[in-house]
Amino acid sequence: MLRQLRIRGAEAGRDVTDDWARQTLAGLPADGAQAVCARMVAGIDASDPRVLALLPRFTPPPRWGGRDTAEVRYRDALADNAHHLPAGTAPALGWGELTDDQRARTVTASRESFHAAVRERISELSRAQTPAAGPAPPE
């Protein structure tokens, strides 16, 4: 079950990052976009808290459709997971049957995967914008 939550968290992280990149880089000239990207990659690689603070954050609304957002994510992952279980496998516990600790672990799995995917996707997008350093020109 946690695997499905991690997959969904990573998908959400990549989607949000693509939106972030469009909004952040859209109006910049090419050299400005390259400069921002170079700073982002360097900051991510160095775990610079000033750069990391600029990244999209895992901030789902507490309620969605009258239900707890974590419950909605859990139920969706539960449905996804049910398709992959061998016949005769006992179903996972329902949201109401989970302990507070188990519920917290579902949120943690989603959040950690989201943040990892954001960092990876921004690095990918930034590296694509930043020209690779080639050999020094001859003197």
- pLDDT given for residue 68 in this prediction: 72
Q: What is the pLDDT along the chain (139 residues), one digit of tens a residue?
A: 788 889 888 998 899 899 988 888 888 888 888 888 888 889 988 999 999 898 888 877 666 566 677 888 888 888 877 777 667 776 778 888 888 898 889 889 988 999 999 989 988 888 777 666 545 455 5
pTM of the model: 0.75
Backbone region of residue 88 per phi and psi (left: phi > 0; alpha: psi in -120 to 50; beta: other values): left
How far CA 14 is from CA of 90, 92, 98, in Å, comes to: 32, 27, 28
Contact 56, 10 (CB under 8 A): no
Q: Which residues contact 23 (CB under 8 A, 6 or more apart)?
A: none
- pLDDT given for residue 86 in this prediction: 67
- Tell me how far apart the alpha carbons of residues 16 and 58 are, in angstroms, rounded to a whole number: 10
Where do the structural domains in the chain lie, given as residue ranges?
A: 2-83+94-129
- pLDDT given for residue 62 in this prediction: 65
